[in-house]
Structure 1
């Protein structure tokens, strides 16, 4: 009995192994066709999905570019705000009040509104749709306000102007490194240009009558006079240098 089992087992194993390793040659073309058809169907189903995702991504990318451009323009108009927010790259700047820059900004606003209106807003989702609506509203108001050019002369108010931009910079700038002090010096050196641009904006207002009220201007004059000192070291603008860290050369 033991001999019989021993002589038959290899033959049985051989038949079993042959059945698993040698598929029916007649089935090969059929199986290959099935796999090819299945692969083609999967590819066809996937292509519209990829295409739809690409189409949706395009408006989102366009919106992001517009938002980034608007943020940069906003911070360049008010670089002191950039310093307050801790945004790098603006700490050496003062507001550019020149009429040429004003016209360039107006052109940017008009172009931005055109690009927003051409954007497929229906393809946006979630927060992007909210950001889109807010930016459209902002640009529409900005473009509408461009017709009121007389208001360009209102560059001196109790809330802002040449009289408080540098004192504000001295208060909010983080003075930790030598570069911080160099940026602050660049801001001080830019003050004469801000003064010239302010005067250029005020002159048309003197003709049209669009000026801040006398009580406001009186307070502004007093604020400017406070910085007219005989010794520069007594100026409030020099206060950051009085506390310069010893490790800064």
Structure 2
């Protein structure tokens, strides 16, 4: 899963379409502007006006030189009034989009229009359902991610950070007001999926330098003069003592005494206000497809059956003579499959990254220059965090509870989250072709997570997996994503219980019990998001199969991958159309070369 601050029952409505990392593409080139149609110019005026408005609303400042946008000196407003203002603005944008004739747009602007519409619709839709009244889920929280994982490089960024620290009380108070409104109308995160999540607040209640907000001030760069460093550190200690710690203490008390006791006991999206329509729209947001829950459930059942057969064959390849259930028990309990230290797990992940580095030239023509690091998941959130998440600057691996982190799963996890998955994907986006700025900022889960899961399968073709156990780890990850199709739709639209979902995942995957419980709780609290992975991967693998069939021995995966990542995050329908156009161009090129 790519790093981001989105939630399903919705931290901030806008967060669902912002990627984990903000990358800025250059404006449309002069040549393209000269060829623009009237419809193109109307569309360009619309998204060029909306983008700076959106950045201001989200409290972000753009680099005038086209670099990455960054947080400004305050946190965004999340009041009901500010949300309503955004809703009215975005519904107005959608009406203006409807007035632009799509058939008169140039090819590139048709893609821009599709991306723009889908993202604006998602933001407006979340506000319409008031998802901001439940601003967190089982592993992603509005109170998390406000402190950086690494130090800033200059004094100005530290000053901006200090201003945001002082704004935490206002930001938290607005979220608490929203959460109280959600309680009143029966719209909360399900209680079962947030059990123990209050503990993620505890570390931030400290008024001293052991508060995680102070971490960025411990090793400030020497380029900042010593007297300035000392002054900034002193200001940070005051801000933590007077603003940050009291705000977190207030939030912790609210969570424990009011929110958690009153959180709903039901787990399904259908039980929410207008729940059936809400779940269907969540499916649309995350998958960018119009499938019904029943259709997705059936796809999941078919995939589970197919992968189950593959796993049983791999079990035979490992020369296991017992039952499948016994094999899963062996994998979950034998010490040979588990790291003894966090460094051992992190080292294996780093080895897989470097092994894949040696394969990149055979996988892509364009190799991005930006580099990421591998870090452990922070201690404050590790107990309830997923196994790993990747983003532009870093790829996180969870080293908490090592007996729950099988090493045979690390290769697939690393490919998905780090290289050539999300961290590589984010770096690739930095060097994408010139496009409107919003294209570099928009993230669709079906596309992004589909790519991540596809890279796990690609690792098999690239020789990354070194044993039947590692191949079984890949298969259990693929099964994990297939099972999600069954479980998510089962719980949210078909009356499945939490225990039923846990039992189904336990039966079909080799995931550790802790991972299984955390994952099921995530699906409960984040309806629809988990559906994107497998549906996106199915789409990409089907497109590759089409390309291989049409091009035969002329198929080259390097331009195929360059084209796929080069278009940036787009709805799956757009991705499929663009990749089929690529296949047609390649076929014509080779036919002409043969003449």
Q: 1:140 to 1:68 in 2, by over 3 A?
A: same
* Aligned-pair CA distance for 1:109: 0.9
Work out whether residues 56 and 123 of structure 1, in 8 Å CA contact, stay in contact via their aligned partners in 2: no
Does structure 1 residue 210 correspond to structure 2 residue 199? no
* Aligned-pair CA distance for 1:166: 1.4
Give the match's secondary structure for 1:164: coil
- Partner residue, 2:68: 87
Unmatched tracts of structure 2, length 5 or more:
1-32, 229-595
Give the match's secondary structure for 1:111: helix
Does structure 1 residue 157 correspond to structure 2 residue 137? yes
Q: 1:204 to 1:138 in 2, by over 3 A?
A: same
* Aligned-pair CA distance for 1:116: 0.7
Q: 1:202 to 1:111 in 2, by over 3 A?
A: same
- Partner residue, 1:29: none
- Partner residue, 1:192: 169
Work out whether residues 155 and 202 of structure 1, in 8 Å CA contact, stay in contact via their aligned partners in 2: yes
Structure of higher CA gyration radius: 1
Whole-Å separation in 2 of the counterparts to 1:145 and 1:91: 24
- Normalised TM-score (structure 2): 0.29
Does structure 1 residue 247 correspond to structure 2 residue 227? no
Q: 1:225 to 1:123 in 2, by over 3 A?
A: same
In the TM superposition, what whole-angstrom CA distance separates every residue of 1:126-160 from its partner, at most 9, and x where no partner exists? 111111123233444544555423x3311122343
Q: 1:140 to 1:182 in 2, by over 3 A?
A: closer
- Partner residue, 2:112: 131
Does structure 1 residue 235 correspond to structure 2 residue 241? no
Give the match's secondary structure for 1:190: helix
Q: 1:138 to 1:117 in 2, by over 3 A?
A: same
Whole-Å separation in 2 of the counterparts to 1:171 and 1:107: 36
* Aligned-pair CA distance for 1:200: 0.9
Residues 52-91 of structure 1: matches in 2 within 5 Å? 56-72=36-52, 75=55, 87-88=68-69, 90-91=71-72
Whole-Å separation in 2 of the counterparts to 1:139 and 1:121: 17
- Partner residue, 2:432: none
Work out whether residues 97 and 194 of structure 1, in 8 Å CA contact, stay in contact via their aligned partners in 2: yes
Work out whether residues 162 and 194 of structure 1, in 8 Å CA contact, stay in contact via their aligned partners in 2: no
Residues 37-52 of structure 1: matches in 2 within 5 Å? none
Work out whether residues 76 and 96 of structure 1, in 8 Å CA contact, stay in contact via their aligned partners in 2: no
Q: 1:162 to 1:137 in 2, by over 3 A?
A: closer
- Provide the alpha-carbon RMSD of the alignment: 3.2
Whole-Å separation in 2 of the counterparts to 1:165 and 1:180: 16
Whole-Å separation in 2 of the counterparts to 1:210 and 1:82: 35
Does structure 1 residue 105 correspond to structure 2 residue 81? no
Whole-Å separation in 2 of the counterparts to 1:98 and 1:120: 35
Give the match's secondary structure for 1:234: coil
Does structure 1 residue 171 correspond to structure 2 residue 154? no
Work out whether residues 153 and 205 of structure 1, in 8 Å CA contact, stay in contact via their aligned partners in 2: yes
Unmatched tracts of structure 1, length 5 or more:
1-52
In the TM superposition, what whole-angstrom CA distance separates every residue of 1:150-177 from its partner, at most 9, and x where no partner exists? x33111223433320313xx126x6111
Work out whether residues 204 and 212 of structure 2, in 8 Å CA contact, stay in contact via their aligned partners in 1: yes
- Normalised TM-score (structure 1): 0.64
Work out whether residues 157 and 220 of structure 1, in 8 Å CA contact, stay in contact via their aligned partners in 2: no
Residues 3-42 of structure 1: matches in 2 within 5 Å? none
- Partner residue, 1:34: none
Q: 1:80 to 1:225 in 2, by over 3 A?
A: farther
Q: Across the two proteins, how many residue pairs are aligned to each other?
A: 191
